[in-house]
Structure 1
Amino acid sequence: MATARIARISRKTHETDIQVEINLDGTGAYDVSTGIGFLDHMIEQFSRHSLIDITCKIVGDLHVDQHHTTEDSAIAIGQCISEALGDKAGIGRYGQAYSPMDEALARVALDISGRPWLVWKASFSQPRLGEMDTELFEHWFQSIAQAVGITLHIECLYGQNNHHIIEGIFKGFARAMRQAVEPDLRKGGAIPSTKGILGKGGLNG
Structure 2
Amino acid sequence: MTRTCRIERKTSETQIRVELDLDGQGAADINTGIAFFDHMLTLFCVHGGFDLEVLANGDLDVDYHHTVEDVALVLGEAVSTALDNRFGIRRYGFAVTPMDDALAEVAIDLSNRPFLVYHVPTALESPGRFDPGLAKEFFRAFAVKGGMNLHINVKYGANEHHVLEAVYKSVGRALKQAVLVDADRNGVRSSKGIL
TM tier, smaller: over 0.9
The amino acid across from 2:39 in the alignment is H
Contact 2:6 2:17 in 1 (8 A): yes
Q: Which residue of 2 aligns with 1:36?
A: 34
C-alpha distance in structure 2 between counterparts of 1:126 and 1:181, whole Å: 31
Q: Which residue of 2 aligns with 1:153?
A: 151
3-state secondary structure, aligned to 2:184: helix
Say which of 61, 64, 82 aligns to 1:63. 61
1:191 pairs with 2:188 = yes
TM-score by length of 1: 0.93
Once the two structures are superposed, what CA deviation does each residue of 1:75-125 show, in whole Å capped at 9, x if it has no partner? 111101100000000001000111011121110011000010011110243
Q: How many residues align?
A: 195
Contact 1:117 1:142 in 2 (8 A): yes
C-alpha distance in structure 1 between counterparts of 2:92 and 2:9, whole Å: 30
Q: Which residue of 1 aligns with 2:108?
A: 110
C-alpha distance in structure 1 between counterparts of 2:193 and 2:123, whole Å: 45
TM-score by length of 2: 0.97
Per the TM alignment, residue 177 of structure 1 is displaced from its structure 2 partner at its CA by 0.3
Q: Which residue of 2 aligns with 1:203?
A: none
3-state secondary structure, aligned to 2:44: helix
C-alpha distance in structure 2 between counterparts of 1:165 and 1:100, whole Å: 9
C-alpha distance in structure 1 between counterparts of 2:82 and 2:11, whole Å: 23
C-alpha distance in structure 1 between counterparts of 2:46 and 2:146, whole Å: 19
Per the TM alignment, residue 133 of structure 1 is displaced from its structure 2 partner at its CA by 1.1
1:174 pairs with 2:172 = yes
Contact 2:76 2:145 in 1 (8 A): yes
The amino acid across from 2:132 in the alignment is T
The amino acid across from 2:138 in the alignment is W
C-alpha distance in structure 2 between counterparts of 1:133 and 1:169, whole Å: 15
Q: Which residue of 2 aligns with 1:201?
A: none
C-alpha distance in structure 1 between counterparts of 2:146 and 2:53, whole Å: 17
Q: Which residue of 1 aligns with 2:132?
A: 134
3-state secondary structure, aligned to 1:133: coil
Compared CA separation, residues 127 and 160, structure 1 to 2 (3 A): closer
The amino acid across from 1:181 in the alignment is V
Contact 1:105 1:157 in 2 (8 A): yes
C-alpha distance in structure 2 between counterparts of 1:127 and 1:71, whole Å: 20
Contact 2:107 2:151 in 1 (8 A): yes
Identity %: 46
Q: Which residue of 2 aligns with 1:99?
A: 97
The amino acid across from 1:21 in the alignment is E
Q: Which runs of 5+ in 2 are unaligned?
A: none
Contact 1:124 1:162 in 2 (8 A): no
Once the two structures are superposed, what CA deviation does each residue of 1:51-76 show, in whole Å capped at 9, x if it has no partner? 11110000001111111100001111
C-alpha distance in structure 1 between counterparts of 2:10 and 2:135, whole Å: 23
